[in-house]
Structure 1
Amino acid sequence: MTKSDLVFNKISKTLEWIMILIFALLVLDVFLQVASRYVLGESFTWTEEFARFALIWLTILGAAYLNGKKEHLSMDFLYQKFSVSNQKKVAVLIEVLIFLFALVVMVIGGLNLVYTTLYLDQLSGTLRIPLGYIYAVMPFSGFLIMCFSVYHISEILNKKPAI
């Protein structure tokens, strides 16, 4: 196992635990909302907003995680028809396109969104959290996807299984 494999596994495992923690908090939050509604007769005002933010983080981090594990949705019918050398070229092209998408849309666009919302002092309605902190998951996940793409390209070029 190479050093890059160890780093990849460590990042993936850390991401798994972060998502497990967010999911546990989400379940606890929804349970608290339902229980308070039936026990107290009214629900806490912050639980709906927290659930929305937790779901945003869980979804975007989950997309990065699945990209790293190569378990995201893909249609490979045409890909399977290519020769092995063409499969390798297409796999590298796909990873380069994923890298560019993550760079332009998620990192650059996400940083712009974070900067704008922090600059304008936009706060969430109930929790009064600066929205830039909520949106920070976008450039973070984009950076992870870029790192995973570089790892996958090195995997492909070193003749490990492509897809």
Structure 2
Amino acid sequence: MKNLLAKVEVLLGYFVGLLMFAIVADVSWQVVTRFVMSEPSSYTEEVARFLLIWIGLLGAAYAYRKHAHLGLDIVTRSLNAPTAAAVQKITDGVCLLFALAVMVVGGANLMLITLELDQISAALQIPIGFVYSVLPISGCLIMLFALERLLTPYTSLPENISTAEE
């Protein structure tokens, strides 16, 4: 499982990087068309908005896997190593439940509702449900990464957690 998730992590990193390149190109094109050609492109703002949604959500899954996500370690820094590891497991369990309830179930419901209602984007004329599909995708990735953490024994704490015993 670790090998597969490591490959998923690499692919996810490249994909998020590709999306970041695309948003830079899109916004650059918007600047050129607006200020150089004096005729702003009609679709670039919407493309940038949708790319930002995908970058944010897939980037969150990638950051979670890399232990680079935002976290408050004020509590774990004051605990001994075994207690800090237990708190980390509880945190990972809460993250798994959040990803399941909010991102996978809620995101899938939102996606399906918008697809059923035939909501389409103004400029690109694509179904909004496709844009929202990143919610359950990202939620599934976070769940997989959280499950991996829960099933892996904590032999040492992640580098970003310091304990009171150090």
- Structures share fold, TM-score greater than 0.5: yes
Distance in 2, matches of 1:95 and 1:158, equals 12
Specify which of 18, 21, 29 is matched with residue 21 of structure 1.
18
Which residue of the partner structure matches residue 159 of structure 1? 155
Deviation for aligned residue 1:83 = 2.5
Residue of structure 2 aligned with 1:6, choices 3, 6, 22: 3
Larger helix proportion of the pair: 1
Q: How far is 1:79 from its partner? A: 1.1
Segments of structure 1 that go 5 or more residues without pairing to the other structure are none
1:88–1:38 distance in 2 versus 1, CA, 3 Å: closer
* Match in the other structure for 2:28: 31
Indicate the residue corresponding to 1:86 in structure 2.
83
**CA distance, structure 2, for counterparts of residue 158 and residue 79 of structure 1:** 14
Aligned to 1:139: 136
Counting only pairs closer than 5 Å after superposition, residues 3-152 of structure 1 correspond to structure 2 as 4-152=1-149
Identity of aligned residues (%): 38
Per the TM alignment, residue 160 of structure 1 is displaced from its structure 2 partner at its CA by: 4.3
Distance in 1, Cα, partners of 2:43 & 2:139:
28
RMSD of aligned alpha carbons: 1.3
Instruction: Give, in whole Å, the separation in 1 of the partners of 2:115 and 2:2.
Output: 36
Letter in 1 for 2:132: Y
Which amino acid in structure 2 is aligned with residue 133 of structure 1?
A: F
* Superimposed CA distance per residue, residues 128-153 of structure 1 (whole angstroms, 9 cap, x where no aligned partner): 11000000000100000000001111
Contact 2:26–2:48, Cα closer than 8 Å, also in 1: yes
**Conserved? CA contact 2:81–2:157, under 8 Å:** no
1:61-102 deviation digits (Å, cap 9, x = unpaired): 111111111111112122122222222221111110000000
Moved more, 79-88 or 119-128: 79-88
SS at match of 1:121: coil
User: Gaps spanning 5+ residues in structure 2: where?
Assistant: 162-166
Q: Deviation at 1:7?
A: 1.6
1:158 Cα deviation from its structure 2 partner: 5.2
TM-score by length of 1: 0.92
Amino acid at match of 2:15: I
Deviation of the 1:21 alpha carbon: 0.9
State the alpha-carbon separation in 2 of the partners of residues 62 and 158 from structure 1.
25
Question: How far 1:110 moved relative to its partner?
Answer: 0.1
